[in-house]
Amino acid sequence: MVIKNEAESRYEVHVDGKLAGFLEYRDVAGVLALVHTEVDDAYAGQGLGGQLAKFALDDVLARGVKISPLCPFVAKYIDKHPEYRVTIR
């Protein structure tokens, strides 16, 4: 399950009730800087990073927010999924 945790400024993915990974963001003058994605080694290879990126990008797309993909993982995800390029500022 992926959620947006505004108090921690990150999107989180949970597996069996445990935090398995997160994607940190910062709001910089109305642009959402996606700065770091991390998945716990115990959950590596399960596609959780992709789930985080997709959830975050779907969220900003729905809200009409522009992003700055500073995180290399998110930038690579956007390269593979060009429909999200419209979100880049």
pLDDT in tens, 5-33: 999 999 999 999 999 999 999 999 989 99
Residue 86, both tokens: 């419209």
What is the rounded distance in angstroms from the CA atom of residue 78 to the CA atom of residue 80?
5
Which burial class, exposed, middle or buried, applies to 33 when counting CB atoms under 10 A from its CB (0-12, 13-18, 19+)?
middle
**What region, left, alpha or beta, does residue 39 occupy, with left being phi > 0 and alpha being psi -120 to 50 degrees?**
beta
In the chain, where are the structural domains located? 2-87
pLDDT digits (tens, 9 = 90+) for 71-83: 999 999 999 999 9
Nearest-angstrom CA–CA distance, 84 and 55: 11
One of 3.40.50.1000, 3.90.480.20, 3.40.630.30, 3.40.50.300 is the CATH number of 2-87, namely: 3.40.630.30
CA dihedral sign, ordered 51, 69, 62, 13 = positive
pTM confidence score:
0.93
